[in-house]
Amino acid sequence: MGESSEDIDQMFSTLLGEMDLLTQSLGVDTLPPPDPNPPRAEFNYSVGFKDLNESLNALEDQDLEALMADLVADISEAEQRTIQAQKESSQNQHHSASLQASNVSGAAPLGHGTNVAATGISQYEDDLPPPPADPVLDLPLPPPPPEPLSQEEEEAQAKADKIKLALEKLKEAKVKKLVVKVHMDDNSTKSLMVDERQLARDVLDNLFEKTHCDCNVDWCLYEIYPELQIERFFEDHENVVEVLSDWTRDTENKVLFLQKEEKYAVFKNPQNFYLDNRGKKESKETNEKMNAKNKESLLEESFCGTSIIVPELEGALYLKEDGKKSWKRRYFLLRASGIYYVPKGKTKTSRDLACFIQFENVNIYYGTQHKMKYKAPTDYCFVLKHPQIQKESQYIKYLCCDDARTLNQWVMGIRIAKYGKTLYDNYQRAVAKAGLASRWTNLGTVNAAAPAQPSTGPINGTAQPNGQMPQAAHFVTAVLQEAQTHPETSKNSYVSHLISSQPETQVIIETTGLIFYPVNQPTFMQLRKGKLSRIRSQPSGTTRSQEYPGPAGPQVQPAPPRPVQRSWDTRGSPAMPPKAKGTGSGGFLVLPDDFLPPQPPPPPSPLDDPELPPPPPSRRGRQEASYAPPCQQARGINVHKQQMNKINE
């Protein structure tokens, strides 16, 4: 299976290359939007990609050649069609729609995964002429579908099931696919097949496999509008086809694959966004120094509560006036519900604020070189516009900040307000992916028996339904979930290999897991994603996932050495259970969801001293008392007397 899929994959990439050439020869970069105008059809080289995967599973090896023949046929056919389509006028729209429908009906209710390659040919919109008759003739023919249903009184249930199946097939057959040319950071391009259910995350994963890059979290899909001189990264949960279908046909827009550290900057240094004291340099320095644990608790506070916290952000920005060239300075405030400004002569209390824009229908973009283009006061501009707007318009809002730092804060703040917790989930998935990749490379060297190299694996995860993003509480579960969603559809995704065919890996995971449950570990073990990622990469002992800003070193015990550290676990707070429940598939060690302490343990120090603040002094006449956050009693007491003197002065 592994080998055959590899073959297929290679053949496929060659095919894709061919198609790429074709596209280039037509002189267009990417796919046009699904406007009802017919000439768009020229980019319809969509091949039943997902279905291919399915059929691979079903077919074993026998019919691969036939399939390939079909694919080639498809391509030449597509060529023909483009030519044909250019000649067609929109008149036959209705005609083609109905024809298409009936055509699909012939194949759809088969209930066999084997010969769907034909039905997988996606019709871009209704504007295409019907594809020629089913090319997959050498495959077993389907039983004529509706007859058994209408024949006699069957169980209503069975009927419903079949219909449902048929409808699902119908839906699948309608899946839209695009070939997207992605510009790499070395000026080369790669063409990718993107189906309409794929999220930016899936596309990134594809690209990771194609490019052998380090898979770190900074990699992103990036869209550039040369005409408007704006750009932005795709959020990982965004549907790529949906975004691209807003582009006009003659667009100069491009999709890039590059690293942008701004993408997840807030998760690496949350203090820069949440605790920023503007104008104070020393505080900035201390911010840089913030330790990993404080960062984590800050993130948890901001993103893991009942509702997320949008960074407090306000200040004067320049606003380009609608349709004019002048820029006006106004005082803006960011709230979870939108951007507001202070009207003239009003205060900045909530009741006086006027709404500037809400985020539902706009995306945020960076503006490049707007100083030149629009005479902006600085080059630190950001732009808010409806995703469908592609040309200059008075509905595009241009804002300009004083410096890069402010710009980044606004852009990130707006993204947090717009996407909320999804952003954090995306980040965690990205970290998981990066960690997985780094471990994979390690395993690849350690364990030469690994059957399939990830780099040559076929495009995986194509069947991931939209919006079904594992709400990964953390790392290992994220990986597992991902792995579990894949096996049915893409057996050769390398994630599932980890599970199904590599007992060695399991052992490693288990041992790393066991590291987490030392029997005598303290109660407040700061077990977080950081630690996980660190330990996950342990087996090789060489690489560590770079993304996580946690302290280095394999030790589990996060507490810095302290003189006063004693009797960690004597207070009966329930420690992490020493027993780990192995409930995952294949004997995986699955950490229970509630495993992580959801709330940050008491403030800064990991030192959890059981003897909490001094019992209230019971002698009369001592009129003061001292309190400290639970973990800090040692310090608290020491300072106590001095402190009191100070106060009593």
Partner 1 sequence: MAGMKTASGDYIDSSWELRVFVGEEDPEAESVTLRVTGESHIGGVLLKIVEQINRKQDWSDHAIWWEQKRQWLLQTHWTLDKYGILADARLFFGPQHRPVILRLPNRRALRLRASFSQPLFQAVAAICRLLSIRHPEELSLLRAPEKKEKKKKEKEPEEELYDLSKVVLAGGVAPALFRGMPAHFSDSAQTEACYHMLSRPQPPPDPLLLQRLPRPSSLSDKTQLHSRWLDSSRCLMQQGIKAGDVLWLRFKYYSFFDLDPKTDPVRLTQLYEQARWDLLLEEIDCTEEEMMVFAALQYHINKLSQSGEVGEPAGTDPGLDDLDAALSNLEVKLEGSAPTDVLDSLTTIPELKDYLRIFRPRKLTLKGYRQHWVVFKETTLSYYKSQDEAPGDPIQQLNLKGCEVVPDVNVSGQKFCIKLLVPSPEGMSEIYLRCQDEQQYARWMAGCRLASKGRTMADSSYASEVQAILAFLSLQRTGGGGPGNHPQGPDASAEGLNPYGLVAPRFQRKFKAKQLTPRILEAHQNVAQLSLAEAQLRFIQAWQSLPDFGISYVMVRFKGSRKDEILGIANNRLIRIDLAVGDVVKTWRFSNMRQWNVNWDIRQVAIEFDEHINVAFSCVSASCRIVHEYIGGYIFLSTRERARGEELDEDLFLQLTGGHEAF
Looking at residues 160 to 219 of the shown chain, list those that interact with partner 1 (rule: CB under 8 A): 160, 163-164, 167-168, 170-171
List 267, 327, 340, 365, residue binding partner 1 (CB under 8 A)? 340
- Whole-angstrom distance, CA of residue 515 vs CA of residue 359: 44
Q: Whose Cβ is closer to partner 1: residue 39's or residue 587's?
A: 39
Q: How far is the CB of 640 from partner 1 (least distance, A)?
A: 7
Tell me: does residue 632 bind partner 1 (CB under 8 A). yes
Looking at residues 251 to 290 of the shown chain, list those that interact with partner 1 (rule: CB under 8 A): 275, 286
Tell me: does residue 559 bind partner 1 (CB under 8 A). no
Q: Which of 122, 85, 111, 109 is nearest to 196 (CA)?
A: 122
How does DSSP classify residue 239? B
Q: Classify burial at 3, counting beta carbons within 10 Å of its beta carbon; exposed 0-12, middle 13-18, buried 19 or more.
A: exposed
DSSP class per residue in 89-148: -GGGHHHHHHHHHHHHHHHGGG--STTTTTTT---SSTTSPPPPSP---SSPPPPPSSHH
Q: Whose Cβ is closer to partner 1: residue 48's or residue 636's?
A: 636
Contact, 413 vs 310, CB < 8 A? yes
Instruction: Give the range of 75-83, 262-270, 528-536, 600-608 binding partner 1 by CB under 8 A.
Output: 600-608
Instruction: Give the range of 112-120, 486-494, 514-522, 628-636 binding partner 1 by CB under 8 A.
Output: 628-636
Q: Whose Cβ is closer to partner 1: residue 72's or residue 336's?
A: 336
Strand 177-184 versus strand 254-259 pairing type: parallel
Looking at residues 315 to 334 of the shown chain, list those that interact with partner 1 (rule: CB under 8 A): none
Q: Whose Cβ is closer to partner 1: residue 184's or residue 275's?
A: 275
List 337, 511, 555, 557, residue binding partner 1 (CB under 8 A)? 337
Q: Whose Cβ is closer to partner 1: residue 214's or residue 314's?
A: 314
Q: Which of 514, 483, 474, 475 is nearest to 501 (CA)?
A: 483
Q: Which of 264, 266, 271 is nearest to 290 (CA)?
A: 271
Tell me: does residue 580 bind partner 1 (CB under 8 A). no
**Mask of contacts with partner 1, 30-59, x by CB under 8 A?**
------x-----------------------
Tell me: does residue 627 bind partner 1 (CB under 8 A). yes
List 135, 338, 458, 550, residue binding partner 1 (CB under 8 A)? 338
Tell me: does residue 93 bind partner 1 (CB under 8 A). no
What is the size of the binding site for partner 1 (CB under 8 A)? Answer: 96
Looking at residues 118 to 157 of the shown chain, list those that interact with partner 1 (rule: CB under 8 A): 145-146, 149-150
- Whole-angstrom distance, CA of residue 364 vs CA of residue 473: 28
Tell me: does residue 26 bind partner 1 (CB under 8 A). no
Looking at residues 440 to 499 of the shown chain, list those that interact with partner 1 (rule: CB under 8 A): none
Q: Whose Cβ is closer to partner 1: residue 59's or residue 224's?
A: 224
Looking at residues 354 to 383 of the shown chain, list those that interact with partner 1 (rule: CB under 8 A): 355, 358, 361
Contact, 220 vs 260, CB < 8 A? yes
Helix (H) or strand (E) holding 78: helix 64-87
- Whole-angstrom distance, CA of residue 61 vs CA of residue 90: 42
Tell me: does residue 112 bind partner 1 (CB under 8 A). no
- Whole-angstrom distance, CA of residue 195 vs CA of residue 197: 6
Tell me: does residue 564 bind partner 1 (CB under 8 A). no
Q: Which of 222, 296, 302, 230 is nearest to 262 (CA)?
A: 222
List 76, 391, 448, 563, residue binding partner 1 (CB under 8 A)? 391
Q: How far is the CB of 228 from partner 1 (least distance, A)?
A: 11
Tell me: does residue 291 bind partner 1 (CB under 8 A). no
CA distances in angstroms from 179 to 20, 253, 256, listed in the order given: 8, 15, 14
Tell me: does residue 305 bind partner 1 (CB under 8 A). yes
DSSP class per residue in 260-282: -TTTTHHHH-THHHHS--TT-HH
Q: How far is the CB of 418 from partner 1 (least distance, A)?
A: 12
Tell me: does residue 600 bind partner 1 (CB under 8 A). yes
Tell me: does residue 92 bind partner 1 (CB under 8 A). no
Tell me: does residue 388 bind partner 1 (CB under 8 A). yes
Q: 359-388: string of b/e by CB count within 10 Å (b at 16+)? A: beebbbbbbbebeeebebbbebbbbbbebe
Identify the bridge partners of residue 184 per DSSP, sorted by sequence position. Answer: 257
- Whole-angstrom distance, CA of residue 429 vs CA of residue 334: 27
